[in-house]
Structure formats: C-alpha cells, structure tokens
Structure 1
C-alpha cells in the first residue's frame, strides 16, 4: 500500500480534503481498507474539476494496479480493471483485434472514473462510455464484492453512480472487431450555416467535434471517419458547407494524426496520444448537455455571451452523444448536444461565467457534467433527473450507513 502525497486534482484547481489518499497494491487490500473505514471515496485519475471524488475520510486510488484486459470467449465483451486508463486498454484491445465503440478526447482517464461520471466521446448514434458497460464489480461498504449486470433491476443506477455505491473494481465492456479511421479538419464554418445544418454537420462522419470561440464562426470541424472493413480508404469532401478542408497537420508528440491518413481506431478517436502530455493543467472546465433537437437555439443563447466569454476562454468544443437509460446519465432519455468549455485558469471570472452560461441554458433543461464546474445545487439537479428518487433508494439499500458519502453527494445528490 502506498500513501499518495499529491493532494490536488490534475489541473491544480482543487485540493482534496480527505484525511488520506491510498493506492492499494491489490483488490484484496482495497477491500480490507473499505471494511476498516467509516468513510471512503474512490479516486481515479483526478481529472474532475470539483469535489465529486472527495470525502472526509479515505480516498482509495486503484490506478496503480496492473491493467487487466480479459476478453470473453465469444469476443463480444472484455473485462478490465477499473483503474486502468482508456488509452492503455485500447491499445491492448487493438493488439487482440478488438475495439471500443467510442473514446473520450483524453485517453489518460480511468475506465472506472470516466464511466462513473458519464464521460463520453462524440458521434450521432454513439453512446457515452458508460453505455458500453455490460457489468460492474463493486466493493461495497463491508468490503464484499458484488456484481451488477445489464438486465438486473438496479443496473441502470449502478454504472453512472459517482462512486456512491462503492469502489468499482472491474468493468465488463462491450467490444467489437477492430476498425480503422482517418481524421480531417475543416476551417471557418459560418455560424448561421452551422445552426441551420446541425444534423448534417454532426452526421458528416462517425465522430464529429467542433471548436469555436463564440465569434460568429466555427473555427474548426474535426471529422473522424470510419473506414469500411476491406477498404483501403474512404473519400472525404474538400468542402463542408463552406468550410475548407485543411492541409495535413505536422506530426505532434501529443495529438493523434489529423492528416487524412488511415490508422487504428485507438489512434484516431481520441484527440490526444496516451504517450503524450496534452496539457499542463492551466485550465478549468465546464460542460453542459442540452437536447440535440434544441441545440441551435441553445448555441445562440450562449453565443450572445461571446464578448464576456472570450477573454477567459481557451476554446469551446461541441459534441453529440446518443441517449441512454442510465438514471444519472446527462444523456438519460434523449440525444444531446454537449457544449464544453476549456477556460483559462481565472477562477473568479470563470465561476461567474459558468453561472451566466447555465442561466442562458436553463430554458433548455441543461444538465452539467458531473465532474466539471457547475453552479447548480441539489434542488436544480433533482428537477433535471426524474430517476434520482430511485437512485437515492438504491443508495439507502446498498450503503445505509453512508460509508461512501462525500460533500458533493451530500450537497447535490443526497441532501
């Protein structure tokens, strides 16, 4: 067992209040720690920008355990260790001729932490990372391990669970045969054209991401195109509704290739390489999910704040995720448009801007990302999640003594 000294999140914007942060050397040791503790919270790769992973007692970090990827005999699922980083899991799946349906922009995040907070990639028809979970093994408050499988009564409340039910030890993920992709970038899509053609733009490739500074244009459209099995390549347009295709980018030590070349899915779906360091953490992030069908109006509402936003913004990324049935998923019930802000590290100004953005998006029923900055309190969150009462009942059954409670859960989920 290793006591971890570093007590800040990845961006250095949040300091954990827990008494101890411990990195067990085995799942058995983790179970013993839980059984012997009054208050425990699971801690992943520290990519959250709030206190969702914090607690008053012990934080248990499983990211130091060896990565395990066990492929089922039918090759339709793979069971992986929850502390493993997506990029490492992806490379091993590719080595075995398999793939995930989706990945987040950052492959350094842990499987357990990303699925517990409903983290996602982008693509019309592509679910969040949690939608690929077929089973989750959880260390409960007594240290006992239990497994919840797709189809079980409580399954939809047990994957996106914010660590409130216990420590995810292993997850079984849906996999598919490996596939190849290419990335191409397009510049300067006019804002009005974009708003008039949202389904066409986001449907232009397997996965589509857009970047804007809220200055009357989409600065860049990034198409991640899936190459059909058996084909050497796939044609892409030179013009996308007036946006011009950019020439190939020079290779980078931190970003995946955006040069039109064809490569493995795990080298094209994320924005960043697992072997590189994409950021020094000089940022704050917030992200807001709105119904895709109301996306154009929601984007215009945020664009009206552009003059206030730009001095404190690195960039904003626009993505889509398909709806699911998981109780606490921001995509529960319908397809969504994700409006993600990477802010400069200006804490006071950004806090005020997050309030303004959430007020502008309130008429659209915006749901914030669980692991990023938000101004919403428990009453506002409760109004956005119709299945929250069922989740609270599940917590009362599985953790009646509140072993896995923390300040975020007390304030937002379980007041």
Structure 2
C-alpha cells in the first residue's frame, strides 16, 4: 500500500541519465482526468509530496516530472511521460505584506481561497478569471485572464516567484531579475513553481449588470466602446444575431458608460453564459453591490463551474484588429452553431511577459465553449484559425488550438526557448505538449 515503505519509482530515464533512488516515501495516487473529464493524463502516477525535500528528491531522481493544479486545461499541457505531482501537501497560509502591497501564496492555493482571505484583511487583486476554482500558479503560468481594458492577464500581477529547478534548488525570481519577463508565463517548463507573490491593492466593491438581446452586429462594430464601458466586460453570443453584455463595474471609479444606443434591455433575473442553463451558479447580476471576489468571476465558488462536459478554445487578437477579426470568426462560428454552447469576447491590457498572449499589445479574446466532440471541434478550431491568421492571433495555452506555428507569434520566443534549455538542460520538466510546440 502507498506509504508503507520507501518507494523507488519505475523511471523512464532519458538516454545518458543516471537515475538515483528516491529517498523519501511519497504518497502515490491514481492518475486523474482533466477537469472536463474527457482526457486522462498519460502519466504513470500522481505523487503527493509533503515537503520540499521530498519534491526535490523526486525532481533529481532521473524521473520526468510535471505539476498539476486545478486541472482546468483542455489539452495535455500539464502531462508528463513520467509522473505528475500535486502540491496540495505543501500548501501554507498566504503571507500578506501590507507595506510592500503584496501577498505570497503557495502553489496549490486557488483564487477562491485567496479572495475572501485578502478581503477580510482589507486588500484585493486587480482582476480575476471567470472561475474562482482555478489555482493561482496554474493561471499565471498560462496567462489566464479575466476582462478589462485597464487590467492585464493574471500573470501581470506577479511580483516574484519561487521555482524548484532541475537541480533540486529553489530560486526566487523577482521583477529586478533579468529573466523575470521570461519566468512567469512558462507552462511549467523552467521548474515547479512552489510559491508566487502578487501585487495587491485596497479592497473595493463591484456591481454587476447584464444587458440582454443586443444586436450582435452593433456590438462588433462598437466593440472598443463596449469593452471600455465598465471595469470588466464580457460579450456572450451563440452567433444567432443577438448578444448579452455582462458588465462588472467598480463602485470607486467613474460610472459605467451608456450603451443604450446599442439597444437591448436590462436582464430581469440571473443569467448563465450558456442560454437555457440555470443562472443560480453565477455571481449576482442585478446591480447588487458586493466585494470584488464575489463579483469579478462569472461563477460562484460553491457551484460546479460552467457546463462541465465541454471543450474550450480561445484566440487572442490585437485590440486594434478585433472588430475585423470577430467579424471573420463569426462566419465560421455561425456555420458550426451546432457545436457552440456559447462564445465570449473579452479585452485585456498589454504586458511584457514573453509568452503571454498579451505580450506588448492590448488584446481581445475570442473564446468559445464547445460541446465535447473533440474530432469535430478540432476541425472547427482549424477553420477558425485559418480565417484569423491575418489578424495575428495567439492561442490560449490551456485550451484547444490547431496551429503548430507558434514561434512567429511571440517576438521573444527564441529567448524563451534558450531560457528553458539553460534552466532544464536534461528536460526534467518537458512534456508532450511543450515538446510538440518546440519549447525545448
């Protein structure tokens, strides 16, 4: 039984390696599926170390290793040809530094845990994603984002990280480090992130409202004004000619901008992004003021998020090209409406992180939640990418995409690859996804 005796892992050792026995007893668990349930990781085992020493001994043993968090990825991004690790046994309470305006969390911490904890102490984050259920580290290392012209992806809040490297040592990389911009959005390729430090600000309140039945063409033509009308704006559509505009607005800033010229009407009850689904799982939308962590996500922490059995894709284009890009995407997505549960249009500010989808350009994400039919969805995603090619799209790392031409989409790609090779010359943290995209 796991835990009865010290365990030597059945390694898959790359040529030229000398594997050493794992000296610590590490709990072994069944290999899980991804969050949506459509894919089981190909790794041989899921290990649960309870100390940094255990984690370091595994990393230096000759085993291929990758870490998983909330498993909210729709590809094999987190998979490993060796083993996976969960860092829940290393979770510690957040550490707030009010003077520095930062909070430090360990790798297994979720935004749903961190949000109320920060609010109770008078602090907040500038942005959150749709789901509070996701882990902080998983979100920042994939440039996951919420929405808002003035806010970056969640990775933009990172002030410092601690990374356990291939030699078993933990290194701190902060904004003063010359490799910082290449060390945040890394897809787990530099090592296992054991903690992350985020910028915080004084807590604030948000009110959320929804405008239903807006003409989709009018939204697309005025997309910049729509996204600039509130702190965080999402446009939902099933490509049937109509759209809903979800607006989350801070109460401590100027009022929302008027969008009455676009038509539509205020929602008279709770809405779910997917038409016909009960809105009880969603955060309050009728203008009730509440704390930031209970309004910025679309979904309440206590409910299972979104549809569950689904696939997702997202393609991020420069904000300046977004209306034309969305119009081009519309033609494809209208043809595949039978596969589309809902699409969402969101904006974000630029950052300077090498592999971020918003690197050096403000962006708009064309996000689609699909039925769980991988063959047909991948074909539809390939069609979508063909029409988006002139609009310089970058795919979301954790979602379904077809392109293999990634280097030319990221100006610092070669620098990112060089950093990975320098940090992990033996490929301890390489997996099928990172090898397939050439991040080695």
Fold match, TM over 0.5? yes
1:94 Cα deviation from its structure 2 partner: 0.7
Match of 2:381 among 354, 371, 382: 354
Match of 2:230 among 195, 205, 218: 205
Task: Give the structure-2-normalised TM-score.
Answer: 0.89
Match of 1:215 among 240, 264, 268: 240
Per the alignment, residue 98 of structure 1 pairs with: 123
Matched, 1:243 2:264: yes
Matched, 1:169 2:197: no
Match of 1:22 among 47, 70, 93: 47
Deviations 1:358-400 (A, max 9, x none): 11101101110001111111xx101111101101111121111
Task: Give the structure-1-normalised TM-score.
Answer: 0.94
1:68 Cα deviation from its structure 2 partner: 2.2
Match of 1:154 among 179, 191, 195: 179
Contact 1:63–1:110 (CA under 8 A) maintained in structure 2: no
1:280 Cα deviation from its structure 2 partner: 5.6
Matched, 1:397 2:430: no
| Residues 406/306 of structure 1: CA separation in 2 closer, same or farther (3 Å cut) | closer
The unaligned stretches of length 5 or more in structure 1 are: none
SS of residue matched to 1:59: strand
The unaligned stretches of length 5 or more in structure 2 are: 1-25, 272-277
| Residues 64/186 of structure 1: CA separation in 2 closer, same or farther (3 Å cut) | farther
Matched, 1:337 2:379: no
What pairs up with 1:3-402 in 2 under 5 angstroms?
Answer: 3-74=28-99, 76-218=101-243, 220-228=244-252, 239=260, 241-249=262-270, 253-279=280-306, 281-377=308-404, 380-402=405-427
How far, CA to CA, are the matches of 2:334 and 2:199 in structure 1?
A: 43
SS of residue matched to 2:437: helix
1:166 Cα deviation from its structure 2 partner: 0.4
Displacement over 6 Å in runs of 4+: none
| Residues 21/265 of structure 1: CA separation in 2 closer, same or farther (3 Å cut) | same
How far, CA to CA, are the matches of 1:338 and 1:116 in structure 2?
A: 18
How far, CA to CA, are the matches of 1:211 and 1:78 in structure 2?
A: 33
Aligned length: 409
Range with bigger deviation, 73-82 or 94-103: 73-82
Contact 2:56–2:164 (CA under 8 A) maintained in structure 1: yes
How far, CA to CA, are the matches of 1:124 and 1:189 in structure 2?
A: 21
